[in-house]
Amino acid sequence: MEIREAREALKLYFGYDQFRPMQEDIVSNILKGKDVVVLMPTGGGKSICYQVPAVVKKGICVVVSPLIALMKDQVEALLVNGIPAAYINSSQGAEEQYKIENQCLDNQLKLLYVSPEKLLSAGFFAFLKRLNISLFAVDEAHCISAWGHDFRPEYTQLRALKQQFPQVPVVALTATADRLTQKDIQEQLHLQNPEVFVASFDRPNINLSVRPGRDRYNRIRDFLDKRQGQPGIIYCLSRKSTESLAGKLKKDGYSVTFYHAGMSPNQRAKAQEDFLRDNVQIVCATIAFGMGIDKSNVRWVIHYNLPKNIEGYYQEIGRAGRDGAKSDALLFYSYADVMSMRNMLSEGERGQKSQLELQLVKLERMQQYAEAAICRRRILLQYFGETMEKPCGNCDICRNPPVTFDGTLLAQKALSAIARTQEQANMGLLVDVLRGSRNSQVLQAGFDKIKTYGAGRDISPMDWQRYLHQMINAGLIELAYDQNYTLKLTEQSRRVLFENRKVELVKFEEVRQTEEVPLVKARPKKELIKDALFDKLRALRKRLADEQNVPPYVVFSDATLQEMAAERPTNRISMLAIGGVGAQKFDRYGEDFMNEIMHFITEEQDKGNKIKGATHLVTFEAYKQGFTPEQIAQQRNLNLATIYSHIAALYEQGYDIRIGNFLSKAEYQVIARAIEKMGPDAKLKDLFELLGEAYDYYKIRLSLAVYKKQNS
Ligand code: ADP
Ligand code: ZN
C-alpha cells in the first residue's frame, strides 16, 4: 500500500492537503503493518494517524477508547466526512448492538469504536474473529500504565489483542509525555518491535500570557469584550468561586455557565453539552472540567488562580486551540494565590511529608513560570524535557520583553530593612516598614526607629511585593516557609549589601504600559472584514449543526472557517482547496457556505467596500434573481460585454448558469469548430473574423467558456 493513496484519502475525506510532519511517518509505518506507539499532545492530530489507514486498508479498524462520551461525536465526525463508522458500548440496547455487529459482518464499516469493557466482554473476541480486521487503535493508551495519571485496570487486559490477533498491527496513542508510561504501553500491549513516535509537545498556536492578579474581574471583562462569541474556559480554584464568578458575569450580560464535581451528573452533562454545542460561550469550572472534552474550537483558557503544577496547567491550556487556530491562555498571578495554594497543599497532604515536599517543589516551578522574565514557552517545554532553539515570539514576554533597570539601591534598602528587623518580618510587615507606615505592628516592634524606616516611600506596596519576589527568585532573599514566612538574608544578599554587587530588576510599570498598546491598536480594515465574515460563517455553522444535532466543530473547525473567511471561496474548486473541506463535506455543506460568502460579498459591495475579485459574483447574485444581462448591465452601470464575460467566467468556474439561454447548441457547434482550428487561446477578434463576423462577440466568449470547461 502506498503513501500516495493515503495522501489522496487525506484530501478526499478530510480535506487536508498534507500530513503534518509526523503523521506521514506514522501512517506509512502502519500501512507497512508495523506496530506503532504515538505520543502527541492534544490537538496534535492523532486521530488522522489511524483513520487514514483505516480508510485505505481493506477491512475494518477497531478503535478501543475508554471515553464513551466522545464516541458518538467521533463517529459523527467520520460520517460527515463520508467514512462509514459506528460504535458499540454499554450505552446502547442489545438490538442496536446487534444491528451494528451485522453491519460489521457485512463489511459495511471502516471503523468500529468500542469501549474496553465491551471489547473484553464474553464472546466479543469470537465476533471479532469473524471480521477482517485491518488495524487495532488503542486510544488514551496511557490508561494501561499504573504510572500514569489515569490508570484503568481493565486496560491491562488489552494484551490479549496481540495474543489473539498476532497478525493485526496495533497503534497505541496517547497525549502523555511521560517516558515511563511510554515504555509501559509497549510492554503491556506486547507490541512487537514497535516504532515509537514522540511529537513535540509545543503548541505554538496558543499565546501565553500572565497578568498580575489585581482587579481580575475587570481584566477578564476586557479580555472577553475583545473575544465576543469565542468559546472559552475560566478555571477557578473552588466550586464556590465557579458559581460566584459565573453569576457575576451572567449579571453583566455574558453567556456563561459553571461546572464542578459537586453538581449532579445531569447538571454537569447539561453544562458540558451547552458548551460543546456553542449554546453558551463561557464555562467557569474547576479542573474537573475538560477530561474527555473534545471541542476543537475552544479559543481561550483563563486561569483565575495559579494552578498547582505545570503538568496540570499545560493540560488545561491545551484544551484551547486544538484546531490549530490562534488561541489564548491567560493566567492571573498573585502572591496571595501562592500562599493559599501552599496552605491547601499542606492541609491536603498532612502526614505525608515527602509527598508534600514534592507538591511544594512543583508549585514553586509553577510560580517561577508566572514570574518569569524569559520566554514562557521555553520554560514549559524545558519542564517537559524539550529544548527550544529560539524564543517563541508568541508569549507576553517575547512580545514585550521586560525592561530591566539597575535595582541595586532598591535591593539594598530592602535587604538592609531585613537585617535591621532581625529577619523577623514577613513580607507585609517589611513593606510597611519600607513605606514608613504607622500601623500598630510596626510601632509595637519599634521598627519605626530603625534606619531604613520609610526609605521606600516612593514605591507602591504592590510594586514592593513584586520587587521582593524577584529578589526571592534570584536567591537574594530567602522566604522561611517554616518560620511564619519571615524574610531572611542569604549569602548573596550579603554580597549586595557589603560588596556592592549589582542587582537587575524588572520594571513593572513599564511592562504594564507597553502591554496595553498592541491591544488597543485598531485592526486593519481587511482584518475587520475577515472577522465579520468569520462571524457570519460561524452563525451558519451553528445553524447547520443544530439542525443535524451535532456539535458545531463537527461541521467545520474554526481553522477551516478562518481560512474560508480569508480566502472567500465561491466555487467548487476554491472551496475544495480550503483545509478541512473534503469531497463529502463539500457536497453536504459547500453550497450553504458559498452562498453565505457570496451574500456577504455582495452586501459589502453594496456598502461601498470594494472586495477584490468579487464583481462577477455581484453579477451572479443578480442573475440568480432572474435579471437579464441587459438589465444587470444597466443596474451596475457596466458594459453588456463585461456582464457576458462575467457570465462566461462563472460558467467556467462551475456556477449554475443556464448557458443555453444565451447560446444555442447549433451556434456552439459552429463556433467550437473555429475554436478547434485556432486553439482555445485564440483572440476573440480573430475568431470573430474567422467566423465571417456572423456571431456576436459575447457568443464567442461564451463558447470559449463551454469549450474550455468540456476539455478541462
Ligand atoms: P488529537 O486527537 O491529537 O487531540 P485531533 O486528531 O483531534 O487531535 O486533531 C486536532 C485538529 O487538527 C483537528 O481539528 C484536525 O482536523 C486537525 N488536523 C489533523 N491533521 C491535520 C492535517 N494533516 N492538516 C490540517 N489539520 C489537521
Ligand atoms: Zn516566548
Q: 337 versus 27: which is more confidently predicted?
A: 27
State the pLDDT at residue 383: 80
- For ligand 2, the distance from its centroid to the CA atom of residue 399, given in whole angstroms, is 7
State the pLDDT at residue 627: 85
Ligand in closest contact with the CA of 65: 1
- For ligand 2, the distance from its centroid to the CA atom of residue 373, given in whole angstroms, is 10
State the pLDDT at residue 23: 96
Q: Is 16 in the pocket of ligand 1 (CB under 6 A)?
A: yes
Q: List the single range of 228-232, 262-266, 344-348 with lowest mean pLDDT.
A: 344-348
Q: Do domains 2-198 and 206-399 have the same CATH topology?
A: yes
- For ligand 1, the distance from its centroid to the CA atom of residue 557, given in whole angstroms, is 10
Q: Is 20 in the pocket of ligand 1 (CB under 6 A)?
A: yes
**pLDDT higher than 70, residue 613:** no
- For ligand 2, the distance from its centroid to the CA atom of residue 52, given in whole angstroms, is 34
- For ligand 2, the distance from its centroid to the CA atom of residue 674, given in whole angstroms, is 63
**pLDDT higher than 60, residue 522:** no
> What is the rounded average pLDDT for all residues in the chain?
88
Residue nearest to atom 26 of ligand 1 (CA): 16
State the pLDDT at residue 396: 93
Q: Above pLDDT 90, what percent of the chain? A: 52
Region 354-376: what's the mean pLDDT? 83
Ligand in closest contact with the CA of 390: 2
| Cβ within 8 Å of residue 191, ≥6 positions away | 35, 37, 162, 170, 172, 185
State the pLDDT at residue 388: 80
* CATH H-level, domain 522-603: superfamily: HRDC domain (1.10.150.80)
**pLDDT higher than 80, residue 417:** yes
Region 429-446: what's the mean pLDDT? 91
- Confidence bin at 518 (pLDDT 50/70/90): very low
- Nearest-atom number in ligand 1 for the CA of 579 is 25
What is the spatial distance between Cα 303 and Cα 237, in angstroms, rounded to a whole number?
9
Q: Which of 13, 16, 203 to mutate to test the pocket of ligand 1 (most atoms within 8 A of CB)?
A: 16
Q: pTM (2 decimals)?
A: 0.71
Fold type of domain 206-399: Rossmann fold (3.40.50)
CATH of 2-198, one of 3.40.50.300, 3.40.470.10, 2.30.30.40, 1.20.20.10: 3.40.50.300
- Confidence bin at 352 (pLDDT 50/70/90): low
What is the spatial distance between Cα 343 and Cα 16, in angstroms, rounded to a whole number?
49
Q: Which of 3, 8, 14, 78 to mutate to test the pocket of ligand 1 (most atoms within 8 A of CB)?
A: 14
CA atoms within 13 A on the CB side of 584: 17
**pLDDT higher than 90, residue 301:** yes
Q: How far is CA 592 from each of CA 546, 552, 588, 601, 603, rounded to the nearest angstrom?
A: 15, 15, 8, 14, 16
| Residues 329, 206 contacting (CB under 8 angstroms) | yes
Render pLDDT for 452-485 as a digit per residue (tens, 0 to 9): 999 999 998 888 988 888 888 778 898 786 777 7
Fold type of domain 404-506: Arc Repressor Mutant, subunit A (1.10.10)
State the pLDDT at residue 349: 63
What is the spatial distance between Cα 601 and Cα 617, in angstroms, rounded to a whole number?
8
Q: Which of 19, 39, 70, 323 to mutate to test the pocket of ligand 1 (most atoms within 8 A of CB)?
A: 323
- Nearest-atom number in ligand 1 for the CA of 18 is 23
State the pLDDT at residue 510: 44
Q: Is 296 in the pocket of ligand 1 (CB under 6 A)?
A: yes
**pLDDT higher than 90, residue 412:** yes
Q: List the single range of 104-118, 427-441, 463-477, 602-616 with lowest mean pLDDT.
A: 602-616
What is the spatial distance between Cα 552 and Cα 691, in angstroms, rounded to a whole number?
55
Tell which CATH architecture fits domain 613-712: Orthogonal Bundle (1.10)
Region 705-710: what's the mean pLDDT? 89
What is the spatial distance between Cα 252 and Cα 249, in angstroms, rounded to a whole number?
5
**pLDDT higher than 70, residue 523:** no
Q: Is 42 in the pocket of ligand 1 (CB under 6 A)?
A: yes
Q: Above pLDDT 70, what percent of the chain? A: 95
Q: Is 582 in the pocket of ligand 1 (CB under 6 A)?
A: no
- For ligand 1, the distance from its centroid to the CA atom of residue 42, given in whole angstroms, is 9
582-617 CB burial, b ≥16 within 10 A, e <16: bebbbebbbeebbebbbebbbebbeeeeebeebbbb
- For ligand 2, the distance from its centroid to the CA atom of residue 508, given in whole angstroms, is 18
Query: In the chain, where are the structural domains located?
Result: 2-198, 206-399, 404-506, 522-603, 613-712
State the pLDDT at residue 150: 63
- Nearest-atom number in ligand 1 for the CA of 559 is 14
- For ligand 1, the distance from its centroid to the CA atom of residue 189, given in whole angstroms, is 25
- For ligand 2, the distance from its centroid to the CA atom of residue 379, given in whole angstroms, is 9
- Confidence bin at 88 (pLDDT 50/70/90): very high
**pLDDT higher than 60, residue 521:** no
What is the spatial distance between Cα 63 and Cα 72, in angstroms, rounded to a whole number?
13
Q: Which of 48, 51, 197 to mutate to test the pocket of ligand 1 (most atoms within 8 A of CB)?
A: 48
Exposed (0-12), middle (13-18) or buried (19+): which is 18, by Cβ within 10 Å? exposed
Q: Is 44 in the pocket of ligand 1 (CB under 6 A)?
A: yes
